[in-house]
Each structure stands twice: as structure tokens, then as C-alpha cells.
Structure 1
Amino acid sequence: MKTVYKIVALALFFSAMSGFSQETTSTNYDQGFRLGFGLNVGYPLQDPYDFNLGADARLQYDLSKRYSVTLTTGFSNLFISGDDNDLGYIPLQAGFKAFILKDKLYLLGEAGAAFAVTNGYNKTSLLLTPGIGYATDIIDISLRYDHFSDFPTIENGTQDKGLGLVSLRVAYGFKL
């Protein structure tokens, strides 16, 4: 798992470095804020979770035409079949977005915390999220991997922790 994070971090770093060397100095670009509201559906990679469903709000500040910083929060629920309780959580993450192709295709890295808020489970987990996406002026579609370091899982019939989640996010965004 650490290897995946290192590869994503290196890809973001080299993307950023190549962008700095190619970016022209333009004084006409309007830096500013964007706000997006998204729906998320995900597939958990560990038991006992069946699927994830959530909504989020992302505030984005465009540093340049190619680079942005983000702040994302919302509410998501990990559904469990049977008599066990679902796990609802509030993610709070800060991140960096680098556009790598025609100002539409981007790489995103976010880090933060997931605060469990339902069914008596009240622990907080480190949340790391690399992703890739496609954005226009109003639509943002991304595929990402979320890793929750401290959420409980079941591995070979025994209690464990560390949950992986593959998610699809579809969002509507606009300039503020």
C-alpha cells in the first residue's frame, strides 16, 4: 500500500515540475475560488462493508491555469449487510490538483481525517486519497482511491483495521 502512495506522490511531483517548466508567465489569468457539490459511490475492498454512498462539497482555489489547492468535506456512509451497523463518517481533507492534459485531465492528492459519527463508533482515521479526474467549467468526474488507516475491517475472520475504497465522484462546480 505504501508503494501505491509513493508512486502517486512521485507522479504528482513530476507533473508539477513539468508544468512549472512549461507554463508561460501570464498576468491575465484570473485566480479565484470555485465551489463544487458532488455525489460519491464506492466499492470497499475489505469486509464487512458492501458499498459506500456520500455527498461532498469541495472548495478549490486556482493558483494558476494548471494548479489548484482544495478543501473537501461532506458525509458518507459505509453500508454493511446483515445485523451489523453501518459506518457513517465526515471526511475533511486538503489537497493539490494538477492539470496534466489540455486543462481538463488532472491528478489529485488529498490528505486529512475521516470522523466516524454514527452507531456508537467514534474513532477518527487518517484519510489519504490519490485520484484522477476530468473537469470542465461545470462538471467534474473523478476516480479515486481512499485509504482509511484506522477504520475496522475483518481479515480472514479476525478483526483488523485499514480500509481501502475505490470511488467515483460526479460533481457540479462553479466560480465564486
Structure 2
Amino acid sequence: MKNLIKSILTVMAVAFTITTSAQEAEKNYDQGFRLGIGISGGLPLDDPYDFNLGADARLQYDLSKKYSITFTTGFSNFFVSGDDNDLGYIPAKAGFKAFVLKDQLYLMGEVGAAFAVTNGYDKTSLILSPTIGYATSAIDISLRYEHFNDFPVLDGASVDTGLGLISLRIAYGFKL
């Protein structure tokens, strides 16, 4: 256990040093907020869901030219064949974005909650979401995998939890 704590503290210290060094090297960089408005569509990896559509808003604070923190929310819906089977939810995610190639290609990780809001389903699920994307000063296109720990899926004849989703997001972004 002590080794695990030491390892975590070492990783945090290295990350802090890298971030501090990057900020010192970019003293003239104008830190600030950006807002992105996006739409997304995706394919659920589990039954009974057919597809997913959503819209979101992402607030981003640029720590440096290469690193940002994000907060994303919106509304998305898992569509299911039949009447009154859809699962609509409001995601609330916080994340860290790192630009890795020419300040346009980025990797991002988000974690948060999905609040179910349709058809009397009242579970809240943990969301884990790794993302790869490409951004310019106005356009952001990304591909992400999302895992919902507590949303129901069909596993053969039984109902289980743990829904996966692969989704494409296209957004317009601007400085605030």
C-alpha cells in the first residue's frame, strides 16, 4: 500500500513539474475559457440499444497551449425499437485534455455521471470516457468511447449493467 501511495505521489509530482515548466515556457500564452457547442451520434455496443444521438456544451479552460481542463454537459438519448423504451440522460463530466501533435490532435479523458431522465428510469450511472480528437480555432471533431457502469443491457435472456458506446462528436468552439 505504501508503494502504491509513493507511486501516485511521484506521478503527481512529475505531472506538476511538467505543467509548471510548460506554463513558464509559454509566459505569453493567453489563458482563458472556450465554449464548444456540439452534436454527437454513436453506436451502442450492447443490446437492446440501436443508436445514440445527443447535443452538448463543453466549457474548456486552457491552462497552457497544450493542456486544458473541461466540463461537459448536455442531453443524449439511447434509442430502442418499440414504444417508450428509449433511455434519455443528462451527462455531467469533468476532464483533462492534452494536445499531442501540432496543437491540433488531442487526447482527453473525462469522468462523470449520467442522470437518466426518461421513461421512469431513475438510475444515475458513472461515465468513463477516453477521447481522441482534432481541433482548430473553431472546429472540433472527436471520436470517443463511453462506458456507463449502471445502465441496463441485455445479456442473452437476462438484464445486466455496463453499457458501452462509440460516438463521433462535431462541435463549433470559440473563446469567451
Separation of aligned partners in 2, 1:45 and 1:25: 43
Q: Which amino acid counterpart does residue 112 of structure 1 have in structure 2?
A: G
Count of equivalent residues: 162
TM-score normalized by the length of structure 2: 0.87
- SS of 2:25's partner is coil
TM-score normalized by the length of structure 1: 0.87
Aligned to 1:28: 28
Note if 1:68 corresponds to 2:75. no
Q: How far apart are residue 150 of structure 1 and its match?
A: 0.1
Separation of aligned partners in 1, 2:100 and 2:168: 20
Report if aligned partners of 2:26, 2:65 keep a CA contact under 8 Å in 1: no
- SS of 2:82's partner is coil
Separation of aligned partners in 2, 1:20 and 1:103: 15
Note if 1:109 corresponds to 2:109. yes
Q: Among all aligned residue pairs of Structure 1 and Structure 2, give the percentage whose two residues are the same amino acid.
A: 71
Aligned to 1:55: 55
- SS of 2:30's partner is coil
Which residues in structure 2 correspond to 1:105-144 (within 5 Å)? 105-144=105-144
Separation of aligned partners in 1, 2:94 and 2:121: 24
CA deviation string 1:72-126 (max 9, x = no partner): 0000000001235100000000000000000000000000000000010011000
Aligned to 2:88: 88
Q: How far apart are residue 22 of structure 1 and its match?
A: 8.1
Q: Which aligned runs of 4 or more in structure 1 are off by greater than 3 angstroms?
A: 19-24
Q: Which amino acid counterpart does residue 26 of structure 1 have in structure 2?
A: E
Ranges in structure 2 where 5+ consecutive residues have no aligned partner: 1-11
Q: Which amino acid counterpart does residue 86 of structure 1 have in structure 2?
A: D
CA deviation string 1:31-81 (max 9, x = no partner): 000000000101000000000000000000000000000000000000001
**Cα RMSD over matched residues?**
1.8
